[in-house]
Structure 1
Amino acid sequence: MGYTPRRSRTLNQRSFIVIICILLGLLWHTWSNPACDSDFEDGDEEYTEAPVPVPSPLEEDGALPCSKIPGAKDTVVVIKTGSTEFVDKLPRHLNTTTRCYPNYLIFSDYEEDYGGQQIIDALDSVSPNIRQEHMDFALHRRLKEMGRAALAAEELSKVPGDPSAWTGHTDNPGWKLDKWKFLPMVNRTLHEYPDKKWYVFVEADTYVLWGTLLHWLNTLNSDEPHYHGNQMAISGDLFAHGGSGFVVSHKAMRMVVDHFHEYHDSIEQFTDIHWAGDCVLGKAFRESGVPFTFSYPVLQTDHPGMIPYLTPEGKTTDDPKKRPWCFPAVSYHHLNAEWVEDLWQFEQKWLEKRHLNDTGFLRHSDMFKEYIIPHMRAPKMDWDNASDQNKMETDNFEDCRTQCHSDGSCLQYSFRPETKICKMSYWPKMGMEGDGVRSGWILDRMWNVADSMPQCTDEGFL
């Protein structure tokens, strides 16, 4: 008789423990779900953490969506980097973008094997006396002697690609070497791939929308001399901005490499007195008889969050009737490794939804609606959305948000706690990382502005 009651009592205790665990689990789920206790009236401005990257989608045969696009095998992608920025920027490309490229090369200022990936020293063909004696090559000589151990901590700051320096960091050893890489890199690329139709040159902080790029190249004739880039000028010399990426046809590669061989010494002399290697290259293209085609806004100099998608800011196009909003989007610049992966994941999903042989491509309007606006769903900490059209003092972020909502034209707002300055804007920008700044957007107004834009018609590539 004593055994049976003891068994029933044990079952009751276990049931009680199970019920308590279930209740605690439900309470934890409720407390940890920000959507459950959000007091924002729009429901689209709650704080959320950035999603953890997930593996990109594969086709049924296990191939990435980006790997089967027509024209890929005829194209070489050339990535230029440097020892001072290598570790921070390049590894993410090796796990993402280069998986889409049948043909690619990576150039730096130090030759090495990085996890089985060959990194080519772009400076090996520079005249021996320059490499051995020129002060610009001090870092190069140290790297040859000591490898990566030669790099000092201060040399890893303000590396090539830093958006704060539009004229370069001429006091940084990496910048001093960078200008010498361009023509030797072009020369070596043609030697490695002498029979490809197209050569696309980018930097380690550049992202190229591979599908849109290949659609663009399929509209051009590689037997003609093409040199396309985001137009820049120094002292009257027009050239393609290296960080935006630039496109060269097989014909143009042959012409500029022949010119490089014929005028090698004078080109090095010009490089010595100049600070921008992409300008040196542009001058060589011009002197070799290759015309330069302006390719803004297809190729961009900046981070996608800083592009003025809807405003009249920026450069004009060759035809004022053409709106940047409707142009295809091919490249962005000044991206850290996380943004490279985020854009790559986005593009793989976009390609997966479309047949690779159709004529579709991503326009800037598509990027704004499908990529930029989703990043505006929730306010962000340590993020500056570049609001700058209306400034005022407020006590806190919530008051700043209220001020923006009360202004029917306001689309976004930001608040810096230490100054108590609230900024608003009537034009949309996603912005980018900014310490101490909190930013928010009014999502339904963003959509209203985007939907009110005139429909794109037959605007295509340049």
Structure 2
Amino acid sequence: MRRHLRKLRSTPAVVLLFLILLFLLPYDNSFSPRAAIVSAVPALFEKRWWLINKPGAYPVDFSQDVAVLVKSGIGTKERIPSWLQAHEHMELSDLLLIGDFATLPGQEYQYRDQRLPVHDVLAWMIGRGYMAEDLDHPRLQKYYNLTRAIDREDVGAAQEMSGSFGWELDAMKFLSGMELLYSRFPDKKWYIMADDDTYLIQPSFKRLIEHFNPNREQYLGNPVGGEDCRFGHGGSSIILSHRAVSHLTSDREYLATAYRESLDETWGDKRLAVALNRLEIYIYEEYAAFFNGERPRTSKITKERLCTPVLSFHGLSSSSDMLSVSRTFEHATEQVLWIDLWNIPTSDKSDNAHLPKASTSLFDDPIYDTGHANWDYVGRPDEWTQSVEDVSSVETCKQICREERPDFCLAWTWDSNEKKCHMSWWIIKGDQAEGRTSGLNVPVVKGLVRSCRP
């Protein structure tokens, strides 16, 4: 009996030792129970390894080790030149443009010393035999109608069709685009997919992927979706390791099935995830904070994100928007943290040659405490914000934020017309908002910033 009691008493110690040894393993080890434990014990991952002045375990040279896919379409092709110009500083040697159309000889786009065509990835998929040319499906018929309009140079009809059903064709580009990218550049460590209105911050990307072994199956992105399938939001950019893409594209028979299923898919980024999940390759939920699907001024800086690198911006649909963001971030040589976004220029027309690092002193301006008239640091109220009605003054709104809801509220906005106080668990750089006065929960914000940028 005593021997059995000794065994029982030692069990907690054994379990503790097991957990310690487990967490000492490299992050990307193949021992799967780690993922479940990570979700149950998130505090153990608050090490902020990216803030430690130490090189990554798996060095990356962007010009040699990374292939980038830019996804466009006939309805948005005017974005391509500004995307290429905005990313010239990245010196990408392996860049692929895809769409639902193909450029003709002599119409290629210029990127540094390269002439880049747009590849019609739907035509490529059909040409590879994944779908029969005579397959009768409404989505394919729409594609053929678009192609005929392009061939007869009916720009108006092509633009109208793209606006009507371009999203349906876009859903077919993710998986096929990744296969085409890998077939062109099979020896890369990393593969990145981005939209033509997505801006990539190279030093932040580099800091993240150097933490992972590309010879293991890695899927990184901004997780969205429900319990049935969590998938990386395409606009925020998606990162796949060499091993993951190699495995994904190795089963031609399955790809043919997946491409046919994409004819009925709403979201192409979900279809890509379904194919990866089939191989037991799942997105890393705990690295969601690195990815961003918003424009810089509306990017939500939460407690979890504040001291984390930000990799991307999305929704930069105009040339001026894309190039303005590029002017702000193209000179960054170190990772950009979310809180550094507070230093972006107030005007989109400002030619800022360098984005300063944020610090607590940035929030010494009394305007953040007393309130910034005709401004909004909260953004559009939604299901994630909190609002209180019948609030008579700025001071009352500030008091509700700081004293009544300090654990929730990072920013507050008082609407003088509706007499409402809106609060959020994030801060945004914001913009002008007539009739509103906005401020921050300054003590809390400063405390958060002090943990990474004293």
TM-score tier, shorter chain, comes to 0.5 to 0.7
Measure, in 1, the Cα distance between the counterparts of 2:436 and 2:135.
Answer: 51
Residues in 1 aligned to 2:283 and 2:386: alpha-carbon distance in whole angstroms: 36
SS in 2 for 1:78: strand
Asked whether 1:363 is paired with 2:361, we answer no
The aligned residue for residue 453 of structure 1 is 448
Match of 1:91? 81
1:135 aligns with 2:138: yes
* CA displacement at 1:150 relative to structure 2: 5.3
8 Å CA contact 2:306, 2:449 repeated in 1: no
Cα distance, 1:270–1:437 mapped onto 2, change above 3 Å: farther
Shift of residue 191, structure 1, vs aligned partner: 1.5
What is aligned with 2:317? Answer: 336
Name the TM-score, length of structure 2 as normaliser. 0.64
CA offsets 1:2-51 (integer angstroms, 9 cap, x no match) = xxxxxxxxxxxxxxxxxxxxxxxxxxxxxxxxxxxxxxxxxxxxxxxxxx
Is 1:327 aligned with 2:308?
yes
Equivalent-residue separation in structure 1 for 2:437 and 2:216 (angstroms):
48
Q: Does 1:225 align with 2:231?
A: no
Contact map agreement 1:391 1:421 (CA 8 A) in 2: no
Larger-gyration structure (1/2): 1
Alignment-derived partner of residue 203 in structure 1: 195
Which amino acid in the other structure matches residue 84 of structure 2? Answer: L
Match of 2:233 in 1: 241
What residue is the counterpart of 1:185 in the other structure?
A: 177
Q: Deviations over 1:372-391 (max 9, x none)?
A: 88999986799993366456
Counterparts in 2 of 1:106 and 1:386: CA distance versus 1, 3 Å: same
Contact 2:375 2:437 in 1 (8 A): no
- What is residue 120 of structure 1 aligned with on the other side? 119
1:411–1:250 distance in 2 versus 1, CA, 3 Å: closer
The runs of 5 or more residues in structure 2 that have no matched partner are 1-59, 111-115, 349-366, 403-409
Q: Which 5+ residue runs of structure 1 have no aligned equivalent?
A: 1-68, 158-171, 312-322
1:120-148 deviations in Å (ceiling 9; x for gaps): 11112333535764221344223322326
Q: Is the 8 A contact 1:383 1:437 kept in 2?
A: no
Residue 446 of structure 2 aligns to a residue whose secondary structure is helix
Structure 2: how far apart are the matches of 1:246 and 1:305? 22
Query: Do the aligned partners of 1:84 and 1:156 also contact (CA within 8 Å) in 2?
Result: yes
Q: How much does 1:109 deviate?
A: 0.5
Judge conservation of contact 2:98–2:121 (CA < 8 Å) in 1.
yes
How far the C-alpha of 1:242 sits from its partner, in A, is 1.4
Residue aligning to 1:164: none
Choose which of 409, 417, 421 in structure 1 pairs with 2:418.
421
Measured on the aligned residues, the alpha-carbon RMSD in Å equals 3.8
Determine if contact 1:404/1:411 at 8 Å carries over to the other structure: no
Q: 1:130 to 1:204 in 2, by over 3 A?
A: same
Instruction: Name the CA distance, whole Å, in 1 between partners of 2:277 and 2:146.
Output: 34
| Normalised TM-score (structure 1) | 0.63
Matches of 2:193 and 2:121, distance apart in 1:
13
- Select 2:428's aligned residue among 419, 427, 430: 430
1:127-166 matched pairs, under 5 angstroms: 127=126, 128-129=131-132, 133-147=136-150, 149=155, 151=157, 154-155=160-161, 157=163
Structure 1 residues 330 and 237: alpha-carbon distance in aligned structure 2, compared to 1, 3 A threshold: same
